[in-house]
Amino acid sequence: MPDTSERANLIEQVRQQLSMVIDPEMGRSVVDMGLIYRIEADRVGDMHISMTTTTKGCPASTFLKEAIRACAASVAGVKSVEVELTYDPPWNPSMMTP
């Protein structure tokens, strides 16, 4: 059962793993694009990821959501992954890392 520091470590590992998922249009990772709003882990390794897409209704949204779920699930210590697609707040270009 991971303690707080182990959970923070697990979240960081998931964040790093998500860097291999790219936005197909920009070619940058979903993390650098600012599309990952929140990553949370509970005591047993269940992950909750809150994400968005650059445009509401983006045709890639289903693929991005599934890719993020699969990518996070591949990290050792992650028991299950729930991905929530949200547009609150809507994404804007200032959310990208420079």
Partner 1 sequence: MPGATLSPWTISYFATALVCLVAGLALTISGFGYPSAPIDDPASLVIVHLIAIGWLGLLFAGSLLQFVPVIASRQLQSPHLALPALLLTMIGLLLLLGGFLGLADLVPLWTWTLPAGGLLLTVAFAGLCWMVAGTLVAARPYSLPTKFVALGCVPLIATALVGLVFTLSLSGLTDDPHLVGLVLSAGPAHAYLGLFGWMTITAIGVSYRLLTMFLLSPEKTRGISRAIGWLLAAALVAAGCGIFSDGTGLPADRPLHLAIALSGLASLFYAIDIHSIFRERKRKSVELNVMASLVAIGMLLLCFVLFAASIVIGNPAGMVMPIAHLFTFGWLTGLGLGQLYKIVAFMTWLEFYGPVLGRTAVPRVQDLVNERRASLWFALYFTATATATAVLILDMPDMFRAATFAQLAAVCALSFEFIQARRLAMVPAATRLPSAVAARRLILPSFNGRSR
Task: Please report, as ranges, the residues that interact with partner 1 according to CB under 8 A.
Answer: 20-22, 24-27, 54-71, 85, 87, 92-94, 96
CB 61 within 8 A of CB 25: no
11 versus 21: smaller Cβ distance to partner 1: 21
**In the complex, least distance from residue 9 CB atom to partner 1, rounded to whole angstroms:** 21
8 versus 20: smaller Cβ distance to partner 1: 20
CB 35 within 8 A of CB 71: no
> Rounded to whole angstroms, how far apart are CA atoms 81 and 72?
7
**In the complex, least distance from residue 29 CB atom to partner 1, rounded to whole angstroms:** 11
4 versus 57: smaller Cβ distance to partner 1: 57
> Rounded to whole angstroms, how far apart are CA atoms 75 and 72?
6
